[in-house]
C-alpha cells in the first residue's frame, strides 16, 4: 500500500477480526445461470496494520465444517470428500505474503491453503477506515474479494453442473488490541546488595 492512498482514520496496530460482525461469503454459478451462495460462520484472524501500509499483514483461519448455504443437505454434501472434505482438512488458512497499492484499493497477496493445496491468491481490499465503537474500542472496517478455481484447489465433484470459479467476498470488522504494558524492571540483585550494605 502506498502511504499516498487516503485511508480515513488510518490507525496502525494489531487488530483482531470480530467474527460476530464480519462475514466470509462466497457464490458460484450452477448450470451456467443460477447463483448459489453461502458463508463460513466460524473463522478468526489477525490484521497487523503497519506504519507503512505496504508492510501490513493478515493471517486468518476458517473452519471448513462451518459452511452454511441455508440448505442442510447441501451443506452435508459440501463437507464430504470431493468437495471440502472437512474430516481430513478441517481448516482453510490464508497467510499474506505482500501488499501492493492499486489506485485507492490494495492488493493483498498470500498463500491460501485448502484441502491439500496451497495456492498464491490475491485479495482486492478496500480499507474503510477506523472509528470508535459503541463500547469505546477502536474498530476498523475492510472489504475484500477474490476468485478461486475449484479444480486448482482440489475439488473433484460437481464440475458437470458447477462453474469452476468461486467468488469470495469478505466484509471484515476488526477491533484493535491494546498495546502490551511494558514489562516491569527486574531488580538488580547486586545493586540491592550494595544498597543494603550502605
The pTM is what? 0.85
> Any idea what DSSP says for residue 60?
E
Type and span of the H or E element at 99: strand 91-102
What mean pLDDT is predicted for residues 120-148? Answer: 92
Q: In this model, does residue 2 exceed pLDDT 50?
A: no
Q: What is the pLDDT of residues 167-188, one digit of tens each?
A: 999 999 999 988 765 656 666 6
CA distance 51 to 12: 6
CA distance 165 to 70: 21
Amino acid at each position: 500500500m502506498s502511504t499516498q492512498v487516503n485511508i480515513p482514520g488510518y490507525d496502525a496496530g494489531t487488530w483482531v477480526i470480530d467474527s460476530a460482525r464480519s462475514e466470509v461469503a462466497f457464490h458460484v454459478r450452477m448450470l451456467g445461470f443460477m447463483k448459489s451462495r453461502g458463508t463460513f460462520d466460524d473463522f478468526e484472524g489477525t490484521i497487523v496494520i503497519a506504519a507503512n501500509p505496504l508492510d501490513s499483514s493478515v493471517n486468518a483461519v476458517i473452519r471448513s465444517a462451518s459452511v452454511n448455504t441455508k440448505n442442510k443437505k447441501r451443506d452435508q454434501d459440501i463437507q464430504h470428500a470431493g468437495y471440502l472434505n472437512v474430516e481430513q482438512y478441517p481448516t482453510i488458512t490464508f497467510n499474506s505474503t505482500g501488499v501492493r497499492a492499486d489506485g485507492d484499493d490494495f492488493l493483498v497477496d498470500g498463500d491460501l491453503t485448502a484441502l491439500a493445496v496451497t495456492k498464491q491468491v490475491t485479495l482486492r481490499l478496500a480499507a474503510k477506515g477506523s472509528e470508535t465503537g459503541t463500547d469505546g474500542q477502536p474498530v476498523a472496517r475492510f472489504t475484500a474479494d477474490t476468485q478461486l478455481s475449484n479444480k486448482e484447489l482440489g475439488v473433484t465433484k460437481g464440475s458437470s453442473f458447477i462453474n469452476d470459479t468461486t467468488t469470495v467476498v469478505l466484509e471484515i470488522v476488526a477491533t484493535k488490541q491494546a498495546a502490551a504494558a511494558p514489562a516491569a524492571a527486574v531488580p538488580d540483585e547486586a545493586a540491592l546488595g550494595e544498597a543494603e550494605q550502605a
